[in-house]
Structure 1
Amino acid sequence: MVRPLFPLIAIALAGTACAPEGRRKDDTPVVVSAIGSADLLVDPASKGIDGAQAVALAATAQGLVRYDANGQIEPALAARWNVFDDARSYIFRLGEARWANGQPVTAEEIVRALRRAVAAHGSGRLGPHLAVIDEIVEMTPQVIEVRLKHPRPDLLNLFAQPELSVARGRAIGGAGPFRIMPGQRDGLLLRPMEEPGDDPAAKPAPEQHVRLRGEWAAAAIARFRAGASDLVLGGSVLDWPIVEQAGIAPENIRFDPAMGLFGLAVLRRDGFLSTPQNRAAVAMAINRADLTSAIAPNWTTAETILPAQLDSAAPPAPAAWATVPPDARQALAAQRVREWQAVHRGPVEIALALPAGPGATLVWGHLAASLIAVGITPRRVGLGDPQADLELIDAVAPYDSGRWYLATACRACSEDAATLIAAARDAPDLYNRTHRIAEADAMLASDVSFLPIAQPLRYSIVALRLSAWRGNARAWHPLNHLRKE
């Protein structure tokens, strides 16, 4: 979607860098802008939930577990849990929870909602991981079991995703940690849900409430710059140039050490991209350090698909091109382009699919310059264009598994690599799973099916009053963990 430029123009005219934000009093509701759709109320089973809707879901319709401020698992509807049968069975004992209308949440309702969500999202971003779920059953009114086809020691991260929140239809029927106050037109006014044992007559203090809006990045940044909000969530490289033009004080800009994929997935394996050597030439043409340093400070580059060993039996596999010294890569890439042209007698043209946004345009500019420097003629197309040869993937990993990285990177990878990724999914035990992941990682690296560039760039703009905000690898910031108690 092409976004209007007038909010950007307005904030660009607002002046130079301002002092750290501190004008909003600490006895007023926390005002949050989440970058994304203005329609925040969605059914958890809806497909295509964006970042703003995910924030609203997690705030009003928690799942069995949820993330804390550090991106770690904490209890939600489930008070505690145990793992059995070599991580094939998860037993959740429910705590005391109530719907927004005061009725108790039952195990039967949770099971029904989770089954529905698993069925709905089987073809979405969580699909490769939801497939491992065999059954979700109510054992007693207080106990739920999730039975798996194969062992998954880190399944809790899956159940902390907003798509697996438990709600009665749209998020307004969720079980907290916030309830939506009725009669609101300017976003959502969220009030903390009562905890067991709370005085029913007691009212939360104004600063415990949250005013949540979903809006375009330019509008969200302008609102913060004007002192009318406390937090902007969901920032990425796509809108980062707006922050720089808005003059936000450095003390208010917080980066997440996000882990995931930011790079080019191969979509077509014909023409110049038909051989691993030529795909490696494109990878070598990209000057990662120049690209990242020119766009944002401390943006971490990447040359492997896996950022760490994770659940693989081996460290991340480097591609052969990554062993070439950086100062020699472009010369070698240009040589391979010339060799191709000498045989095929024609220009080398590659279409790159990128999203809209000023940050994507900056990325495009650097990628295009790098490709032109080695003799490749680049062309920019939109995401989903059938003529695209390469597509930019920019995603934070929702799951601590090397298989997510490999499955996400494998858009047009070799049949052997795809078979290994599927074998990792279906492995009968953890030993076989870890080794299939390692083999698939090495296969994708040698096949050059994905061209890593960096780790995803994620940031928030944070008022000084929100002292509990913490950067984390998931770039996830729950609204009930913004202030110190």
Structure 2
Amino acid sequence: MILALLAAGCGRRADVGPVDVSVIGPTPRLMSGARVPPLTGNRILTDAVAEGLVRFDAVGQIEAGIAERWIVIDDGRSYIFRLRNAQWSDGSAVRAADIVPLLRRKLAQGGTNSVAPYLTAVESIVEMTPEVIEIELARPRPDLLKLFAQPDMGLVRPDRNAGEGAGPFRRRDTKERGSLLLVPALDPDRDPDDDGPTPEQNVRLRGERAALAILRFVERRSDLVSGGTIADWPILQTANPAPANVRIDPAAGLFGLAVVSRQGFLAEAANRAAIAQAFDRADLTTAISPDWAARETVLPEQLDSAAPPMVPAWATLPPEQRPAAARTRVAAWRAVHGVPVVRIALPGGPGGTMLWARLARDLYAIGVRPIRTALDDAAADLRLVDAVAPYDNARWYLAEACVTCAAEAQAAIEAARLADTLPQRATATALADRLLTEDVAFIPLARPFRWSLVALRLRQWQPNARAWHPLNRLRADPN
């Protein structure tokens, strides 16, 4: 019924009043502890009201957060941050004594903080003065700031004032159920004669199902739909919004099938390679969008590895010859064991069905019988990994792709983590990439697919590799 209503065009929305933002998913909640899952809406809200030491700007680059400036010394093993004149939501001053225990707690969250596993090099966090913090590392990490800019590292005081942070926004009560009103936090150093923020700098944030969010946008009742993935892309296509409003991020990360079971047909690397070469990646991506790039390697580029991305052996065959080679391998298996069955865990939604249709077609064509299962099915053989990289680091790609990879590949990834120097880490990373690729532990398909609907009034919204769009960098350049 909702889709039947999606007939309105989406022209220009008047540049008046708060910026109205819909995030696909449940109503956002502040990520102040382990009980709040890191959904897109939760991360957006946390970034808005509880920034970290640093944060991402509109194009995914580092800018000041609670720290106004910083220096890196000792060959990248020590970061010193000077805090700006900031206030918590209750008006009290932000001090290093507040920040240090919050940062330590963040690092102790482990699996509930998606970036904590990549911050194990942090050795100590100490208060040097009330305005200065030093973070010492056991190993050099030149990409530390990109990890500290993640919303997961937003600094929330759970014991005061409903657990808010230091801005750049403050929450306000609203009569509309399921939505939050965010107003800019006042700068303590502002000119007393300044009139302060205008209503257009406020943000109304809500979480809702994709169909409702898209309907609200095409009816010109919102300015932004954020958090779009392949799962809901067909709904957007049915709505047929103005092309100028549809924006796709060049997201960096992983989109492919992780091998989560090595039983039966998938016990042998050659069989896993047959599955990998069966898929027509170009057909898959162009059927979704011409802006979606296919991928055959785990690493998108060399990054901090000592070698270019390892190309799988199966990818050296021309695309038109790959199905025949895969059929030959499957036929040999079938002659002894019967028809191989592979359970593939995929997301729900019409986009998941579209993805399944193409993957299943290609597997049937080589003699494999696929079965679709839920994304959380513990009995799956292959599971879709769809994740945006928090930073441009090869170890992130390899560690996320290594769900059940061979012990040798796991050891090389761990060696990269523990390397004392950057050249040692680059060498270990290149080895890990080679071993994981030869093991066929992950089947790359494309880059992550992330879309938004953006009103023309949001002139500062920019597509970027992090697929991240902070709420204080939407409408107008603050400079």
Same fold, TM-score > 0.5, yes or no: yes
- Alpha-carbon offset, residue 118 of structure 1: 1.2
Among 8, 14, 25, the alignment partner of 1:25 is 14
In 1, Cα distance between equivalents of 2:175 and 2:137? 42
- Compute the displacement of 1:32 (Å): 0.4
Post-superposition offset of 1:172: 5.2
- CA RMSD after TM alignment: 1.5
CA contact (8 A) 1:258 1:396 kept: yes
Amino acid across the alignment from 1:220:
A
* 2:203 aligned partner: 210
1:262-318 CA distance string (max 9 Å, x none): 000001112111111111100011000111111223210000000111111111111
- Match of residue 4 from structure 1: none
Which of 162, 167, 177 in structure 2 is aligned with 1:176? 167
Identity of aligned residues (%): 52
Task: Please tell me whether residue 63 in structure 1 is matched to residue 52 in structure 2.
Answer: yes
In the alignment of these two chains, the number of paired residues is 473
Q: Does residue 241 of the first structure (1) align with residue 234 of the second (2)?
A: yes
- Determine if the alignment matches structure 1 residue 147 to structure 2 residue 136: yes
Residue of structure 2 equivalent to 1:259: 252
Q: Choose 211-220 or 280-289, whichever is displaced more.
A: 211-220
User: Cα distance, 1:256 vs. partner?
Assistant: 0.4
Match of 1:6 in 2: none
Asked if 2 retains the 8 angstrom alpha-carbon contact of 1:45 and 1:116, the reply is no
Q: Residues 84, 46 of structure 1: CA spacing in aligned structure 2 closer, same or farther, 3 A cutoff?
A: farther
- Are 1:93 and 2:82 counterparts? yes
Rounded Cα–Cα distance in structure 1 between residues aligned with 2:35 and 2:80: 27
Q: Which residue of 289, 294, 305 maps to 1:296?
A: 289
Are the equivalent residues in 1 in contact too, given 2:255–2:446 (CA < 8 A)? yes
Q: Is residue 73–residue 160 contact of structure 1 (8 Å, CA) maintained in 2?
A: yes
Partner of 1:443: 435
Letter of the structure 2 residue corresponding to residue 182 of structure 1: D
Distance in 2 between residues matched to 1:47 and 1:180, nearest whole Å:
18
| AA matched with 2:120 | A
Give 1:48 shift: 2.2
Answer yes or no: is the 8 Å Cα contact 2:10–2:219 preserved in 1: no
Unaligned runs of 5+ in 1: 1-8
Q: 2:374 matched to which residue of 1?
A: 382
TM-score in terms of structure 2 length: 0.96
Paired residue type of 1:21: G
Please point out which of 288, 303, 306 is paired with 2:299.
306
- Cα deviations across residues 141-192 of structure 1 (Å, max 9, x unaligned)? 1111111121110000110111111121187521111111235544111111
SS at structure 1 position matched to 2:133: strand
Answer yes or no: is the 8 Å Cα contact 1:60–1:171 preserved in 2.
no
- Choose from 54, 64, 82 the match for 2:43: 54
* Structure 2, gaps ≥5 residues long: none
Q: Structure 1: which amino acid aligns with 2:235?
A: I
Is the 8 Å Cα contact of residues 85 and 188 (structure 2) preserved in structure 1?
yes
**What is the CA distance between 1:358 and its match in structure 2?**
1.2
One-letter identity of the residue aligned with 1:174: G
State yes or no: 1:352 paired with 2:344.
Answer: yes
Question: Conserved in 1, the CA contact under 8 Å of 2:265 and 2:271?
Answer: yes
Which of 369, 373, 387 aligns to 2:365? It is 373
Q: 1:40 is matched by which residue type in structure 2?
A: R
- Take 1:277 and 1:448, find their aligned partners in 2: how far apart are those partners? 8
TM-score after normalising by structure 1: 0.95
CA–CA separation in structure 2 for the residues paired with 1:76 and 1:124: 19
Matched, 1:133 2:125: no
Q: How many Å apart are 1:13 and its aligned residue?
A: 3.6
- Counterpart AA for 2:11: E
- State yes or no: 1:250 paired with 2:239: no
